[in-house]
Structure 1
Amino acid sequence: MALGAARSTGGVEVRVRDLTWRPFGRSRPVLDGLDLTLGPGERVLLAGPSGSGKSTLLRAVAGLLLTADSGDLSGAVTVGGHAPQDVPGSVGLVLQDPGAGVVASSIGRDVAFGLENVSMPPGEMPPRVEAALREVGLTMSADSSPATLSGGESQRLALAGALAMEPSVLLLDEPTAMLDAATAGDVRAVVSDVVARRGLTLVVVEHRLEGWLDHVDRLVVLDAAGSVVADGEPRRVLREHGRSLADQGIWVPGVPDPDPLPLVLDRAPEGAAGRVPAGGVVAAASGVRVEHVSRRLGGSSRTTVAVDGADLEARAGRTVALVGPSGAGKSSLMGALGGLVQPSRGTVDVAPPLTPAESGATSDAAARTRLAPPHAWSSSDLARVVAWVPQRAATALLGRTVREDVLTTPLALGQDPEVSGVRADALLGSLGLAHLADADPRQLSGGEQRRLAMASAVAHGPALVLADEPTVGQDRLTWAAVSGVLAAARAEGAAVVVTTHDPGVVDDADHVVRLDAPPQPAPDPEPERRPLVARAGPLSLLAAALCVLPLPALLDTWRQGLAVLIVEVLLGLVGLLAPGPGRAPHARLRGVLARLAPAAVAVVGVAWSAWLLGGRDVEVAAGAALRVLCLLVPSAVVVGFIDPEGLGDHLAQRLRLPARPVVAATAALQRLQSFDALWGELMTTRRVRGVRADRGPVARGREAVVVTGGLLVGALGQASALALAMDARGFAEARRRTWAGPAPWRRPDTLALGAGILVIAAAATARLLLP
């Protein structure tokens, strides 16, 4: 279907009739017999307390309720008289967690994904992609990696992906929740301009209504049961129902922010909070610089400066709010202060009463001079002092139940279980999670997970609480609960540092520090040379690696295996050469060895088994080990240079494979590449929660198994979100598909394939010549 057939000239009518949705495992439906009609070109603000079904309704309008979730669905939804899934591209949806829905390794290809699904000619895609990125204010190169974007920038990328498709209906799920005020205003202006110019039907979900009132002409309010309780012209609805809506948790303009919910906590046994006198410095960063390095497969590395020359003090019983535009380095500075990341320059000092003083120290000052900075502390030492509420709360979950998660750090630190249990129950009750104490934390909503992360962070009485956007996605009632927990931590002597765009949190802070994005280093005028193997296309590299599959049948002795291995190593070294002008590529050989390291276990295991089963013959064991190595070495050389997107382009365009499995495999490979980042987040969580194994190969091996399980659970959650994001841009119903990237076959591809064939020829020759 061509793009022109996928959308109308303007907005279309949306009808929701008797819609009922009960997710699997829930006794009560989220939406129950809902009826709603939106006129063509109508601009609607959808509001309601947390859990009222707002996001569910958006997914229903987009035709996605059964994409990544299971449950009982009845009723009907039509968009322009058709089921939404029957007209790919007609509905654009920006999800609540847009970063989880990135489908490509560059922002340009990510925006182009929807255009591919509606069969836009490849030559027409670049200007559409550039215009969409420009509209949402993403000024970096289209080749930039989404991994380098901040949370707010990820939201703008998702919005660009939706706008590029020129839909008839645009659905936005809290599109400005993680943006600073100026950027949020820009996004609202962009949306309003695009909607007015194209005549789109618009539905926006937001907890905070004020910024959108001038951009919409209708306000629809759902109650906690998912029923419409108010509907009409926005200001009339607020005049007539404002107080009752505020009581339900909706942020009604003009109604003062709620006071933090009072919470008095029993002092945590052996907690670090209160060891520094009120107003004293708990931690201080001076001249800190934080850099992030990213690298695309087969491409050059990119260094981004997140923080440069920043100073920050956190004082006992005080709150510091870090504010500034998205991408200003707020999270990075906070992480450096708490020892979560290592600064590349500058110092971080912690108050002497909180430092894990070395044995034999004669004074606090002497101990302090000999201690490592907090990023080098052990897990238990760091957890005793520091607490962290990450922006992605799902990565902070460690327990099998909600209550077990809250007790993880207190019990890891050896605190009294009974006293810790009382404190945990008080936190869960205050945050509205007591009824979920025995639930699996991974089944909670995003807002509930964020509140659970807050409870788990402060349960052990830390001296430094780091909270990254703690109030995002909260209604008035849950906002008051989260603010109450922060106030309780501050009252018992903790220093609190928050990153936020929330004016209420800023007003409640004792000190506000504004950050601006630091200048980035100029690109190196001397480009990095590309290894020879990187100059070949992904299909030829894959074919070269697969050429070695017949080797086990061709090689009989260890001498034959050794000869073939020598040929493979020589070809690999040639492939890693990078002739020509420019800088030498970074860590070519080291990358190959790192990929071979896990294979060493398999090689040793095969050799040992062959030795035992082959009469303890060393030659039999050596032959088996060399055959395995001959299979693995080519893959270790080329896999680091196979770009999943390029591979998908080649498989679809050159081999004419069906689009759906190709895109699914490409997306899976993209996620596989991000596993190192997810692994890092999980290990950071374990470290700051006091359960990371700092010493001993056995303990670290057990931890690797546990984290691998968490990685798989996280990957499944990411796969669900990814499937939803892909289908939100027309993938599920795409009958024909175009491809934004070319798939050329060049001379280096022929040489790469020839290298693979040469290995097989070497094996055949060795079989003939070597006994």
Structure 2
Amino acid sequence: MTSLVEVQNLSLRFEFTERDILSELSFSLEQGESIMILGPSGCGKSTLTLCLNGLYPRELDGTMSGEIMINGKPTTSYKPGQLSRFVGVVFQDPETQFCMLTVEDEVAFGLENISVPREEIEERIDHALHLVNMENFKQSTISTLSGGQKQKIALACILAMKPSLLILDEPTANLDPIARMDLIQTIKQLKKEIGFSLIIIEHQLDEWTELADRCLLFNKKGSVFYDGSLRHAILSQRKEIEEEGIWLPKVVQQLLPYAGPDSSVIPLTLEEFSHEAHLWSNAQWEGNAEKNERETQDVFMECNDVSFIVNGQDILKNISITVGEQEFVAIVGANGSGKTTLSRILSGLQRPTNGTVLLHDKALHNWSETELRKEIGYVFQNPEHQFIMNSVYDEIAFSLQMKGIREIEIQQRVGRILEHFGLTDYSNEHPYALSQGQKRRLSIGAMIVDEQKMLILDEPTFGQDASTNEEMMRMLDARYRTGTGIVMITHDMDLAHTYAERIIVLYKGMVVADCTPAELWQQPIEVLQEWGIDLPIQVKIQRLCEKEDHDYVLAST
């Protein structure tokens, strides 16, 4: 029987890189099978996606060798666009896939491109939107939808094409925890109903594990070093997984330190753990008690009745908050709650419609750009928005050169940043040649090389592998402990629980909570879910071990 996908000895290199992105890669995928592809940031996972859907080598500026067969035919034998009938891809940012204004037109666009008869298009649109529970949004303008809704529309566009293979390339990276779980549940249900083959590329594995028949583990060289079950990989490849910086399910991350080297079984999901929580009740879970004790600090910045209105829509409503001289603050909330807008106003990149923002008791708009950037550093959600140089080294060195720092000191400081963020081998490459995770690390490295008194970071950790995520947060925490204030927008409640001393929750443009992490987790689960928040895995595990509200904890999953 012919496999749906056959990849044989695939190697690929871009013309502007000094090494192979993919190297001698071989694997197969059967009809109806699901696999999960795991690996460090920059190992070629997304590049493989572009090979499977036929974009490479047709649009490749570089070289590619080996062979990819889809339904027994080489991908190079398909005409442009023809492979979209068989292979559909949902990327992490749905807006990169949209080209029309309304939902109906967007779903119709792909169908028209493959010459689906006009009388059949309407039926396919309705069916695809029904599959993702978005039929009521058929006439909606895409720009008015939330992040989770946009991702569902991207999925509907693919499903309308009736592909044999669905590839999910970090589709939940930009979603809040509740929208993330909703999308995953939708995929699970569709897999049962339609039975397509599935490739899942993800750093956050939770809730995906039960969908995958097996996993492929990539190393930094773009090769597969393991092909088999995830459960067996955790037990047999633990050292390699750690060395490559590959994420494991959050339950596994919590339990591994207490499992010992001879453990034969470790729960992969919270549901599995709940059945044997009593076996782990003596574990001493590490908490964040010292940071959860808030201290009174001198005010660094304050917002007074700040509102922001676009086209008559209230994005922010009467925000009044203060940020201390040295606080680690997490701003959380559902997609579309106004987090990024607030961060841009705090950094001086946008002016509020109403209200004032004060920095050291001086209105933000009265600061010169040069003086303001000495006080506040800002890392964009989209790292490309801040790149201005033609090499990774020069991007990090730029601000130091502008200050007239001696070249020898610049080399030392840039070298340390490159090493800490795993970018040493890429120092001469163009920033746009990096993977999304590497671009994110570069954007943060270019900012923290300076000495601002406060750093504002919009989703700094999405797309990062485990080792670089740990190193990045270690460096930010070190800056915080030596006097730098940190304001971090994040959907990662585990990150907020571990590092933040204070969490501000936005809901529909308003501040609905401003408290310590410990205080926030005491809110009713229904309230947290309405705000787009999930309990951290550590809190869930502790409550299960303490036999507190078993159904409550699992209901939040």
**TM-score tier after normalising by the smaller chain length:** 0.7 to 0.9
| Aligned residue among 248, 253, 275 for 1:252 | 248
* Residues 1:227 and 2:223 are matched in the alignment: yes
| Aligned residue among 4, 15, 19 for 2:6 | 15
Q: CA deviation at 1:380?
A: 1.0
- Deviation string 1:355-414 (CA, Å, 9 cap, x unpaired) is xxxxxxxxxxxxx4xxxx324533212212121111110111012332322233344456
Residue 516 of structure 1 is matched in structure 2 by 507
- Deviation string 1:731-751 (CA, Å, 9 cap, x unpaired) is xxxxxxxxxxxxxxxxxxxxx
Kept in 2, the 8 Å contact 1:314–1:496? The answer is: no
Residue 281 of structure 1 is matched in structure 2 by 299
What pairs with 1:672-683 in structure 2 (closer than 5 Å)?
none
- Deviation string 1:714-765 (CA, Å, 9 cap, x unpaired) is xxxxxxxxxxxxxxxxxxxxxxxxxxxxxxxxxxxxxxxxxxxxxxxxxxxx
- Deviation string 1:52-95 (CA, Å, 9 cap, x unpaired) is 22222222221221243222222222222234535542110123
Residue 399 of structure 2 is matched in structure 1 by 409
* Residues 1:177 and 2:186 are matched in the alignment: no
For 2:505 and 2:354, locate their aligned partners in 1 and report how far apart those are by CA, in whole Å.
20
**Secondary structure of 1:515 counterpart:** strand
Q: CA deviation at 1:318?
A: 1.9
Distance change (3 Å), C-alpha of 1:198 and 1:461: same
RMSD over aligned Cα atoms: 2.9
Distance change (3 Å), C-alpha of 1:455 and 1:30: closer
Residue 42 of structure 2 is matched in structure 1 by 51
Single out whichever of 209-218 and 436-445 deviates more from structure 2. 436-445
Kept in 2, the 8 Å contact 1:246–1:255? The answer is: no
Where do 5+ consecutive residues of structure 2 fail to align? 258-294, 511-557
Kept in 1, the 8 Å contact 2:307–2:353? The answer is: yes
Residue 418 of structure 2 is matched in structure 1 by 428
Distance change (3 Å), C-alpha of 1:376 and 1:444: farther
Q: CA deviation at 1:420?
A: 5.2
For 1:474 and 1:139, locate their aligned partners in 2 and report how far apart those are by CA, in whole Å.
34
For 1:411 and 1:137, locate their aligned partners in 2 and report how far apart those are by CA, in whole Å.
53
Kept in 1, the 8 Å contact 2:387–2:395? The answer is: yes
For 1:409 and 1:122, locate their aligned partners in 2 and report how far apart those are by CA, in whole Å.
56
Q: CA deviation at 1:108?
A: 3.1
| Aligned residue among 327, 331, 345 for 1:336 | 345
| Aligned residue among 57, 68, 71 for 2:62 | 71
For 2:438 and 2:200, locate their aligned partners in 1 and report how far apart those are by CA, in whole Å.
21
Kept in 2, the 8 Å contact 1:427–1:485? The answer is: no
Query: Which amino acid in 1 is paired with 2:253?
Result: V
Query: Which amino acid in 2 is paired with 1:89?
Result: R
Residue 741 of structure 1 is matched in structure 2 by none
For 2:135 and 2:480, locate their aligned partners in 1 and report how far apart those are by CA, in whole Å.
39
For 2:417 and 2:377, locate their aligned partners in 1 and report how far apart those are by CA, in whole Å.
15
Residue 448 of structure 1 is matched in structure 2 by 438
Residue 670 of structure 1 is matched in structure 2 by none
- Deviation string 1:559-607 (CA, Å, 9 cap, x unpaired) is xxxxxxxxxxxxxxxxxxxxxxxxxxxxxxxxxxxxxxxxxxxxxxxxx
What pairs with 1:488-503 in structure 2 (closer than 5 Å)?
488-503=478-493
Residue 308 of structure 1 is matched in structure 2 by 317
Kept in 2, the 8 Å contact 1:12–1:80? The answer is: yes
Query: Which amino acid in 2 is paired with 1:310?
Result: I
For 1:148 and 1:408, locate their aligned partners in 2 and report how far apart those are by CA, in whole Å.
38
Q: CA deviation at 1:135?
A: 4.8
For 2:141 and 2:400, locate their aligned partners in 1 and report how far apart those are by CA, in whole Å.
38
Distance change (3 Å), C-alpha of 1:83 and 1:340: same
Q: CA deviation at 1:424?
A: 3.2
What pairs with 1:144-293 in structure 2 (closer than 5 Å)?
144-147=140-143, 154-253=150-249, 254-256=252-254, 279-293=297-311
**Secondary structure of 2:396 counterpart:** helix
What pairs with 1:611-760 in structure 2 (closer than 5 Å)?
none
Where do 5+ consecutive residues of structure 1 fail to align? 1-10, 260-276, 294-302, 353-367, 520-771
Distance change (3 Å), C-alpha of 1:139 and 1:457: farther
Query: Which amino acid in 1 is paired with 2:374?
Result: R
Q: CA deviation at 1:153?
A: 5.1
- Deviation string 1:256-276 (CA, Å, 9 cap, x unpaired) is 4999xxxxxxxxxxxxxxxxx
| Aligned residue among 326, 339, 359 for 1:317 | 326
Kept in 2, the 8 Å contact 1:307–1:518? The answer is: yes
| Aligned residue among 454, 459, 462 for 2:449 | 459
Q: CA deviation at 1:165?
A: 1.7
What pairs with 1:112-127 in structure 2 (closer than 5 Å)?
112-126=108-122
* Residues 1:41 and 2:37 are matched in the alignment: no
Report the TM-score, using the length of structure 1 for normalisation: 0.56
| Aligned residue among 105, 108, 114 for 2:104 | 108
Q: CA deviation at 1:512?
A: 1.3
**Secondary structure of 1:480 counterpart:** helix
Report the TM-score, using the length of structure 2 for normalisation: 0.76
For 1:466 and 1:32, locate their aligned partners in 2 and report how far apart those are by CA, in whole Å.
38
For 2:35 and 2:301, locate their aligned partners in 1 and report how far apart those are by CA, in whole Å.
46
**Secondary structure of 1:483 counterpart:** helix
**Secondary structure of 2:457 counterpart:** strand
- Deviation string 1:656-704 (CA, Å, 9 cap, x unpaired) is xxxxxxxxxxxxxxxxxxxxxxxxxxxxxxxxxxxxxxxxxxxxxxxxx
Compare the two structures and name the one with the higher strand fraction: 2
For 1:420 and 1:74, locate their aligned partners in 2 and report how far apart those are by CA, in whole Å.
40
**Secondary structure of 1:211 counterpart:** coil
Residue 264 of structure 2 is matched in structure 1 by none
Compare the two structures and name the one with the higher helix fraction: 1
Query: Which amino acid in 1 is paired with 2:300?
Result: V
Percent sequence identity over aligned pairs: 30
